[in-house]
Structure 1
Amino acid sequence: MASKIPAAPSNVRITNVQSTQLDVNWDHTNDGIQVLTEYRVLYQTAGTTFTKDTANANTKSLTIKGLTANTDYSVTVIGWKNTEIFTDESNPPALVATFSKPTSVTLSPSSSSSIDVTWHAPVISGAGSATIAGYKISWTPPHNSGVKTVSGTATSDQITGLNGNTAYSVTVAAMSSASGAGALSDSKSAATGIAKPTALTTGDSTSSTIQVTWTKSPSAGDAVVITGYELAWTPATGGGSMMATTDGSTPTTISGLNSNTEYTIQVIATSGSGNGDASDAVTGTTVPLQASQPTNSSNPTINSITLQWTPVSGDSPSLKYNVKWNPSGSTGSSTSVVETSTTISGLNASTIYNFTVTAVNYGGRADPSDPAMFSTFPNQTNSPILSRPSTNRTTQINVEWNKPSGGDDIVDYVVDWWLSSSDGSITSSYVVPGVATTAYIIEGLTPGETYDVTVKARNSAGAGQPSPSAKHTTNPDPVKNFTVKQNSNEPDKILDLKWKTPNGTGDNITVTNNNAE
């Protein structure tokens, strides 16, 4: 049977590096029929021939001594039988630099996934030609171990991508430009912080509470025991933060808050040795308080009413007011505004409306305000007309008008009059009670004068626009002391008529009968 040649040694490892010696370890399975008699460890510096050391065939390690400090070496291993090379060289060769170990390694956990590392450079001595080109940082535990290199002469770095709440052991070694690594520093240990809670969300709110839920921090390596959680919240517009502790049960309710206020909320896992990272912040808003009953801020018109109300407390930027109105027995309408006053247009004339105001923000809706009832003004009446002769037309005017459209809530009418020859200022008024009475006798006027007369309807909101004015003239007083006499000169042909005008002055006229015989 032909002999099977063993494979080359593998996984050559350099350990315990010192300035003038190092340990070499390797793996090898002698799976051939021929038995090896020894291993030869070959090492060299750049541009030189190999130097060899021999190790027993039953041993897979060797200490190389007498090295030059601060020097790059390449190391390979070959299996021998008697005086013959019996295996290929290990590949790739192991590279090493005979730097002494870095000192004063310090670990500072900077988050739940990172650790800051600082160290002092190794002391360089001896005649070697290698210079420090960087550092190799290594860390364990095995389930999240890693290696990273740092170029240059910086003596600090950060390890990232670690598991939260996990203890890590870290070493640092100086590296040469040939990628050889020197002696490892003493191992140092530190634990990452507790990872932040996730999926923090807000739920139902009231005017003084906000409900929150979250996913607990992962326990990961359990370097420390999580004892609870701390909630922190701050008004979004500024002010001091507040905190409360909880066992982590969710949902939980933050209480004692101000109404209509937006809060920035975070949650942090706590332990006996410190707190973890804060969760991503979320925003929650408390519900506003009930708005005040609206008032009528100015005179209504026949189709609009202006409302105002007191602003609710709090400063949530999402606050709005929902104004709702409806006439009795009709479907309601609504509008949203950010101010504390609004004019509702498009209403029916002389109609009573119910109004409510509801404060609303991202947190929810408050209860509607107490309702308020206001009426639009009545429509304008027609111009009053002279309805019928008066029994005393010298001092009275009889006027009548039609009830305006949509005037179901009219309570009375106001009749105004003034002398047309005046400056137009109303001199007299009379309130005609009731909606059914649409006529009035104006008394006490001056005979023989012309008057302007208007009528306006009134309801609970007040008086509507006056009608167009109508002009009416009273009859003059009758003449006084009227006499008829025959003319003294021609009694058969001429009559003398005499009287006094209503203002008391005298006047006369002579009537001649030319046909008298």
Structure 2
Amino acid sequence: MPIYRPTPLPANRATATMLPTGQSGLSTPQPQPQPTPTVQLPNPPGAAVLAQGPSGGLIVTWATPATDGTHSATTGFNLQFSPSGAATWTIVSGVASPYALTGVAPGETFDVQIQGSNAAGVSAWSATSSLTTATAVPNATGAPSLMQGTGGAVTVIWASPASDSTHNGATGFNLRYSPSGAADWTTVAGVTSPYTLNGLAAGSAFDIEIQGLNAAGVGAWSASSTLTLTAAGPNAPNAPAIAGVTPPPDGTTSKLSVVWTAPTTDSTHGAAIGFNLRYSPSGAGNWTTVSNVTSPYTLTGLTGGSAIDVEVQATNAAVSPGAWSAAVTATTWGAIVVPGNWTAAASQVHGTSVAPNGGLQLDATASPTAVTGAAFAFSTSSSTVPTSGLAAASADGQTNGWGLYLNAPATAGTYYVWMLAQGAGGTTIGALVTSAITVT
């Protein structure tokens, strides 16, 4: 009996599929789902190229890194910079090449790195590029101000020029001067304002200019200022020295006696031919000036018990007077002293009771310092208030009166009797001295 074998279908024929009742034909092949591409981090950019930009900044340029099987395309960039070697980074996000990096200090070296970014994140930072920023030279200063000083010297004053987008500040200055209009310049380097220019010829006109400089170089010279020096005259004197300021022993409370010495002359200071004096309540600086005075000079009209500052100034034919001396402070007497009814005769015998009454009297009145005691003293000086050998007086019952019985000095000679009012602690607050008394 023969065997039945079905004929195989051709290889390119679709396999028949049983269809539901009432349907016939072949089914349509179904598409397979495709995987979503994965975004990967970008490659790091290459080291940036740095170039000097305007105003001391930097121009930073870089190339977009390539993609490969493990790195996707870069869609953005970040930049960071730091003083060279410090690794104190400042990050600027979302930059594009070329990028102008501003705000960096002129004349310093900076490190710069670039980083790529995309949807997956950021790349590693690029290798470091370094460049030293340039310093721009200063602007020109304004024309200087000129003022003639003592002995033909000229004081030159100027202001530092402003910095801007193309000029940095000045760190130093040069000065040059020339006979006016000659452009025969003499330069003085490394000056500061104000600067005193010496050695110019009196009676001549001079042009003066200023130039700023910094680490980048020198700026332009300023416009010229011109000054004609007046004819040479004597130099002003040095300041005098005050030898003393004391209240005089005349029994008053309103005076101070001022003594000073004439100043010396030198190559820049002439001889003094006159003097001015000024005085003020101590520390107030409220000066009253008295002109054309001579030493010694007595100030009057002062208030009792007041501290007074005194200064003296020398003058001559120079345009300006000399400097004021150092101030000396003294205090006026605080009590008025007048002789009492008993006063010493002009002739005395040594070691015996004071003639003609055997003693002395004085009246001491507060002005304004309270009087708490009094004393008498024989002294060989009529100008220096004695501080030793004082004979204490007692209140004698008279109004403001004080008296004492005492003997004349034991040694013959010329003496003066001092009548002293005393305040708290035995301090002398008023004084009156007699004329000369001869002791035999």
> Which bracket does the TM-score occupy, shorter chain normalised?
0.3 to 0.5
| TM-score (norm. length: structure 2) | 0.32
Larger Rg, first or second structure (1 or 2): 1
Q: When you count strand as a share of all residues, which structure comes out higher?
A: 1
Higher relative contact order (CA 8 A, sep 6+): 2
